[in-house]
Structure 1
Amino acid sequence: MRGRLALWLRAQIELGVFETKADISAFVLNTVLVATTLATSTYLVVAAILAHFGLLPYPLRSAIGFGGSTTIVIAASITALLAWLIGTAIHELSLSRAEFERRSRLDALSGLYNRQAFTDALSQTTENGFFVIFDVDRFKDVNDTHGHAVGDDVIVAVAEELKRVFLPGHLVGRFGGEEFAAFIRSEDRSDCWLLVEEARRSVSGRRVAAGEGTIVVTLSAGIADRKGERPFEAVFVAADRALYLAKSLGRDRSVHEDEGEALLAPRRRAAGGRHR
């Protein structure tokens, strides 16, 4: 019986949500009902056995009336107290665990999804869209010139602007260092360009305090299509190449993966002309 009770309690704890006081109250009520039923049944069986062998010091009817009611009151009171304490403890642990899990998915500095959480969220959607990698231009110069505290302020400012532009429905996260990422849930390339350019304009229009003055930073962006069964690894590589091209073409611009040849053609013609 003790083993069955333990299993029942374990099942109640595992199945219980314990998100509100009502959940705790329901757990307490179920536990009290089960415990008092078992305690009363056990008392009645023991009293009947003792009465059968003449070991009960008073009539069985009196034992059932007084002893049974007393058993119910005592068992219900003690069980209710213990169940409430257990339920409250589990509730607090659940909240702490939920908060820990939430924090573990966020980048500590920017408050955006970290890289793992971003890729996990992206893997859970089958929607087509555009994957974008943003990189803060010349971020190393900011740290070297103004210090890492100002660099942190830049990261926070960029994150705030990206969060403002990419509203819930889209995904935005920090991949590490000065690199950010976004997933735009749209199959319209013009929508993608509007959002990416709005993000870049917002960041470049933001003034970040640095000593007695302010600094302005810009973003470069690489964009890749995320369609059908295309693996994320391939999408990431394509966006990263587009970002590299944006950087090599002078920074402060956006490049889609399809634009590589067209953008490199003038360079190739110019290089060919110099070699003639």
Structure 2
Amino acid sequence: MMRWIADGEGGDSFRKRQPLKSFVHRMTLRAALLGFTGSFVAVSLLAALGLVGATGEDGLRLATACGLVAAAVAAWLGLRTGRMIDRLARSNARFEQLSRTDALSGLLNRRAFADVLARAKAGCSLVIIDVDRFKSINDTYGHTVGDDVIRRVAELIAETAGPGAPASRLGGEEFGFLLSNGTIEDRLAMVERLRERIEAEVFHGGQADFTITISAGLAEVESGKAGELTYAAADKALYLAKAGGRNRVVHDRQGLTLILDMVAAERLELENEAAIARGVA
């Protein structure tokens, strides 16, 4: 019986309720049969040797009765053991879920999301989102309000990513999730709608209401490309979104264009300042 329990007749079968119930029923039946057979044979042998005060039909009835009692006890122990395994399996599943979940947002934590990203297949986009100037929210309205912001942003991200799609709070005010629907342009549009929706959300900070904005960076998951490299590319796009004025969505493939635009804008600003200086002089 202990070998059956240890093996689980299927390794991960205890993670699912129906295979576990089937295993417990089989184990209980086997235990009952073994209990009945063992007790019947033992009592019959003792009767034949004259070590118990029953022979013939009386000995057979005694052996049968002892066998039935042993079978009932074995079945009861089997069911009790099955219930114990069920409780342990559910506790283990709960512990595993908690170890992979961020307590505040209810999303995956960073470690769990890294595992998901490492197994992600080509044809989806990694999105990294950061709440703009989040520190000022905590400083102005307090950490309780800041936690409310984190929870609400997490809810909106989960709605955007869709049921079953992996979404994570990577730490602080930074989030990550995978999008696999449609084309790259479709996914960019989805993140843009998320940005607009978050920008339109009104939060309550005690005596005053306020709004927030987010910046987002995207990168494509590609075959043969390590998850760390995909993350680095999305993080670079997020940095460009921040550097470009925040409250915007940038794809890694737009990075060079955005950098050139930023350089051109800065150059134009310097030229204007120089022209103004010459006019004053």
TM-score normalised per structure 2 = 0.85
| Identical counterparts, % of pairs | 34
| Structure 2 equivalent of residue 37 of structure 1 | 37
Residue 19 of structure 1 corresponds to: 17
Of the three residues 121, 133, 136, the one matched with 1:138 is 133
Matched, 1:108 2:103: yes
Matched-pair contact (CA < 8 Å) for 1:169–1:185: no
Shift of 1:265: 1.6
Q: Deviations over 1:208-236 (max 9, x none)?
A: 22103322111100111111111111111
Which amino acid counterpart does residue 45 of structure 2 have in structure 1?
Answer: V
Equivalent residue number for residue 28 of structure 1: 28
Q: 1:270 to 1:249 in 2, by over 3 A?
A: closer
Pick from 188, 199, 204: which aligns with 2:194? 199
Alignment-mate amino acid for residue 35 of structure 1 = G
| Structure 2 residue ranges without an equivalent (≥5) | 275-281
Instruction: Report SS of the residue matched to 2:17.
Output: coil
Question: What's the counterpart of residue 262 of structure 2?
Answer: 267
**Alpha carbons 2:39, 2:63 under 8 Å: kept:** no
Segments ≥4 residues shifted beyond 4 Å: 8-16, 270-273
Specify which of 58, 61, 79 is matched with residue 62 of structure 1: 58
Please state if 1:74 is matched with 2:74.
Answer: no
CA distance in 1, matches of 2:176, 2:230: 12
Deviation (angstroms), 1:61: 4.3
Q: CA deviation at 1:25?
A: 4.1
1:120 is aligned to 115
* Secondary structure of residue in 1 paired with 2:201: coil
Structure 1 vs Structure 2 CA RMSD: 2.5
Contact 2:161/2:167 (<8 A) preserved: yes
Partner of 1:106, secondary structure, is coil
Q: Report SS of the residue matched to 1:220.
A: strand
* 1:10 Cα deviation after fit: 4.3
| Structure 1 residues 179-236: Cα deviation after superposition (integer angstroms, max 9, x where no partner) | 0001111461111111111211121122222103322111100111111111111111
Pairing 1:214–2:209 present: yes
- The alpha-carbon deviation at position 40 of structure 1 amounts to 2.0
| 1:59–1:268 distance in 2 versus 1, CA, 3 Å | closer
State the secondary structure of the residue aligned to 2:31.
helix
Please give the alpha-carbon distance, in whole angstroms, between the structure 2 residues aligned to 1:127 and 1:272.
Answer: 39
Count, aligned residues: 267
Q: Residue 175 of structure 1 corresponds to which residue in structure 2?
A: 170
Q: What is the CA distance between 1:169 and its match in structure 2? A: 4.9
Secondary structure of the structure 1 residue equivalent to 2:104: coil
Deviations 1:114-160 (A, max 9, x none): 11212222333324211111000000000111111011000001001
Q: What amino acid does structure 2 have at the position aligned with 1:248?
A: A
Structure 1 residue runs without a partner (length 5+)? none
Cα deviation 1:22-60 (Å, max 9, x = unaligned): 544443233212222222223333433x24xxx554424
Equivalence for 1:252 = 247
